[in-house]
């Protein structure tokens, strides 16, 4: 067969990932502080951009949990700013896949002229840029992990239950750099809408994390935790720790009376205590703690609904100086200078409009999360509903990947505390019949409640737990109950029956 050369004309669509489009995608997943560093970098190298410190309130939504989210702005047929970031192979090209939800739903601020910012860039200090052109060497300098980072890394390994993990993260945020916990557990329980026993249980688990002695509420408790780790905690040394005031006063006579030991034994115990670390958290990197700055603020309205707004107090305004552009453009003589000036104008327009779109996307996702998780905000962590990215994405006509980026490194300040948006996504357990599905975390909590309420003569087996859960409308398999029970480190029914009988005999 002869080989011949020929020309063929084919029509197709292709997405070209320009540097601006790549940056637009990354803007969605940046935290408010990371975004601030990016904006400051753009301010330094673009002469047409400037900061406007004039205060302006951010978008807000008054949301009734019983109502479906409503469209607050009209959709445009085509976003003019999107053309800056989508050079495609043919005239009808566009964005698809990851960007259909985030960018095709863009709506310019009503009444705002082209080039004027909406003011949603948040501030954070972080090295490096995102286009590969400028790299700060300090970004590659290794640093010691902070105590908070070290504890947060252990949290998902120690606690599998989502509700307990929320409580655990709260407690981690309250630990000081020395490793001590300064929190009233009863007040925290009320704030989170969780039983005090559950908060105490989470704290007990956290006190087993490395380094030994963290999450102590006093010096005596810190030392006791370290001794328990070494299997050296006994009644005599416990009595010594309970009377550290006598030790500080060098009242050895008083110590001998309360401890019931001779002087040599007391001396040995004191030497053992001296080898412990009274501030275990200080062995980690000493870093300046950055408080979490929430991106979204939630507060209750007088009619029982929720008022949702962006945190405008931390949002600097970025403006395009068109007057300066006009002045410089008049004196531009070469095509190279004119091209550079037009590129700066295009980049500036892209930035201010994409920041506005980013803010509106965050607000839209947050509004749907509040609508879906109204039970949590109203009643507490026990009422978390099953929720996944697809549910939120479908409800607000966005792509799952867009919702995933929006919920990364974003925080919501609520009457129950500050939570990362991703914490509100939990798996589901189907309901028996036509009932509503249940959050897996809520099911775990119900299993724990049932087991904690059992007596030595009425121990609940996994089969019995399944029966009770089915009676409550929760369709769950026995192996799932067993998996949840083991994940919560709850012994089997046989072991629990043995332990409770021994406890009853010991109490007689």
Q: Do 394 and 447 sit in the same domain of this protein?
A: no
**Per-residue model confidence (pLDDT) at position 137:** 45
Q: What is the pLDDT of residue 132?
A: 42
Read off the CATH number of the domain in which 474 is found: 1.10.10
Place of tokens 């962006």: 310
Of the three residues 257, 283, 309, the one that is the final residue of a domain is 283
pTM exceeds 0.75, yes or no: no
pLDDT digits (tens, 9 = 90+) for 67-110: 433 333 333 323 332 332 333 223 223 433 333 333 333 333 33
List, for the chain, all residue ranges whose pLDDT scores fall below the cut of 50.
65-142
Which residues make beta-bridge pairs with 62? 307
Please provide residue 417's backbone torsions phi and psi, each rounded to the nearest 5 degrees.
125, -175
Give the domain-ending residue among 283, 306, 334. 283
- What values do phi and psi take at 90, rounded to 5? -130, 175
Query: Of the residues 251, 283, 315, which one is the last residue of a structural domain?
Result: 283
- pLDDT of 93 reads 32
Q: Please check whether residue 244 lies inside any domain of the structure.
A: yes
The whole-number pLDDT of residue 100 equals 39
Same domain flag for 326 and 362: yes
Predicted confidence at residue 400, as pLDDT, reads 87
State how far the Cα of 203 lies from the Cα of 449, in Å rounded to an integer.
Answer: 18
Q: What is the pLDDT of residue 79?
A: 34
DSSP tally for the chain: helices H, then strands E: 20, 9
Q: Which helix or strand (DSSP H or E) is residue 49 part of? A: strand 49-52
β-strands 417-420, 296-300 pairing: unpaired
Give the pLDDT of residue 15: 62
Q: What is the pLDDT of residue 123?
A: 27
Q: Is 244 exposed, middle or buried (0-12, 13-18, 19+ CB in 10 A)?
A: middle
| Per-residue model confidence (pLDDT) at position 267 | 87
Task: Flag whether 9 is in a domain.
Answer: no
CB atoms within 10 A of CB 382: 19
Q: Is residue 242 part of a domain?
A: yes
Residue 408 lies in a domain: yes
For residues 266 and 376, state if they share a domain.
Answer: no
Identify the H or E element spanning 155. helix 147-158
Interatomic CA distance for residues 322 and 325, integer angstroms: 5
- Based on the fold, state whether residues 446 and 363 are members of the same structural domain: no
Q: Are residues 228 and 119 in the same domain?
A: no
Report the domain count for the chain: 3
The confidence score (pLDDT) of residue 435 equals 52
Same domain membership, residue 341 and residue 449 = no
One domain for residues 299 and 208? no
pLDDT, residue 379, reads 84
Q: Both 264 and 298 in a single domain?
A: no
Give a yes or no: residue 136 inside a domain: no
Residue 141 lies in a domain: no
User: What are the structure tokens assigned to 250, written together?
Assistant: 């060098």
Let me know whether 347 and 382 are in one domain. Answer: yes
Nearest by Cα to 362 from 104, 108, 119, 102: 102
Is residue 8 a part of any domain in this protein? no
Containing domain of residue 301, as a range? 19-124+292-418
82 and 51, same structural domain?
yes
pLDDT attached to residue 215:
92
Q: Which helix (H) or strand (E) holds 12?
A: none
């Amino acid at each position: 067969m002869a080989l011949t050369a020929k020309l063929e004309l084919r029509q197709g669509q292709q997405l070209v990932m320009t540097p601006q489009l790549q940056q637009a995608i990354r803007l969605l997943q940046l935290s408010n502080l990371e975004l601030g560093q990016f904006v400051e970098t753009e301010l330094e190298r673009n002469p047409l951009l400037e900061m406007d410190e004039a205060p302006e309130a951010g978008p807000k939504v008054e949301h009734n949990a019983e109502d479906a989210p409503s469209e607050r702005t009209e959709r445009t047929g085509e976003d003019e700013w999107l053309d800056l970031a989508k050079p495609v192979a043919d005239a009808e090209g566009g964005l698809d896949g990851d960007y259909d939800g985030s960018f095709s739903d863009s709506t310019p601020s009503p009444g705002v002229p082209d080039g004027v910012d909406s003011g949603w860039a948040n501030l954070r200090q972080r090295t490096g840029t995102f286009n590969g052109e400028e790299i700060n060497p300090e970004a590659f300098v290794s640093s010691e992990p902070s105590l908070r980072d070290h504890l947060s890394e252990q949290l998902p390994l120690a606690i599998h239950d989502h509700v307990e993990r929320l409580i655990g993260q709260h407690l981690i945020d309250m630990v000081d750099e020395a490793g001590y916990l300064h929190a009233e557990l009863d007040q925290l329980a009320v704030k989170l809408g969780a039983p005090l026993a559950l908060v105490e249980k989470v704290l007990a688990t956290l006190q087993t994390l490395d380094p030994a002695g963290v999450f102590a509420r006093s010096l005596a408790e810190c030392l006791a935790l370290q001794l328990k780790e070494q299997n050296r905690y006994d009644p005599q040394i416990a009595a010594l720790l309970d009377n550290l005031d006598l030790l500080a006063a060098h009242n050895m006579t008083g110590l001998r009376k309360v401890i019931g030991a001779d002087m040599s034994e007391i001396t040995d115990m004191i030497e053992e205590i001296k080898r412990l670390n009274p501030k275990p958290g200080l062995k980690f990197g000493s870093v300046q703690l950055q408080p979490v700055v929430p991106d979204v603020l939630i507060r209750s309205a007088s009619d029982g609904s929720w008022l949702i707004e962006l945190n405008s107090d931390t949002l600097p305004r970025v403006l395009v100086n068109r007057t300066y552009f006009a002045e410089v453009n008049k004196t531009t003589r070469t095509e190279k200078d004119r091209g550079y000036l037009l590129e700066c104008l295009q980049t500036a327009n892209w930035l201010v409009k994409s920041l506005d779109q980013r803010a509106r996307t965050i607000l839209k996702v947050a509004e749907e999360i509040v609508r879906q998780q109204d039970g949590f905000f109203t009643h507490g962590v026990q009422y978390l509903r099953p929720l996944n990215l697809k549910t939120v994405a479908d409800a607000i006509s966005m792509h799952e990947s867009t919702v995933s980026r929006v919920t990364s490194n974003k925080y919501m300040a609520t009457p129950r505390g500050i939570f990362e948006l991703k914490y509100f996504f939990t798996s589901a357990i189907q309901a028996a019949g036509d009932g509503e599905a249940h959050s897996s975390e809520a099911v775990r909590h119900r299993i724990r409640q049932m087991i904690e309420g059992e007596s030595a003569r009425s121990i609940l087996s996994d089969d019995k737990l399944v029966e009770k859960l089915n009676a409550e409308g929760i369709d769950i398999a026995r192996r799932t109950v067993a998996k949840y029970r083991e994940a919560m480190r709850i012994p089997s029914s046989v072991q629990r029956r043995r332990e409770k009988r021994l406890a009853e005999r010991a109490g007689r």
